[in-house]
Structure 1
């Protein structure tokens, strides 16, 4: 299977490592890519684990995110810029027959000795 974050790589040698062991993620960009792949694969447990404890979605929000990720068709991820703790990206998806894009500059920090998503800037 091709990796959702980068179709030129195999999932097995890309984001699967992060999904199995979050501490293997060494950069904010790698974490962001693994989170995108988790959205595509509806891996909500990984999305929760890779989210900072102070901003982590509630159990109700977790269910809503799961339902949403399954209702859209993910197209591709474009990483626009990476700085020390931030990653700007565009994630494209179809929802209700329309092409949409999430354009975000995400902020990442370390918590419990591994990278986590903290917030959008």
Structure 2
């Protein structure tokens, strides 16, 4: 499954889905990134998004955990760009703006054992297929 990326903004941020114009409009914001040591693929893709739009982002903080990133954004310490699928299941006080008009995408894969009898597996597979 190919997934888009989304901006993660604090609820009080003036930008929203309706007012979003271009990635370059966020060039002066402090950014919270996935760690380049633990998530080099995501880090490079997100840096590429910024560079493709003419700016080098100001890094405020790096984290290996999406929930930590969301909490830092919620506190107004910066904004983030994450794979869009990472917004599902989180009830943090942030808002998401999907970046549909950029070239970068990420790939999501699922693997499981055929012998897995966990009854929740079917629900997870259905969710994955229906979101794709």
Please give the TM-score of this superposition, normalised by the length of structure 2: 0.26
Q: Which has the higher helix share?
A: 1
Q: Which has the higher strand share?
A: 1
Structure with greater Cα Rg: 2
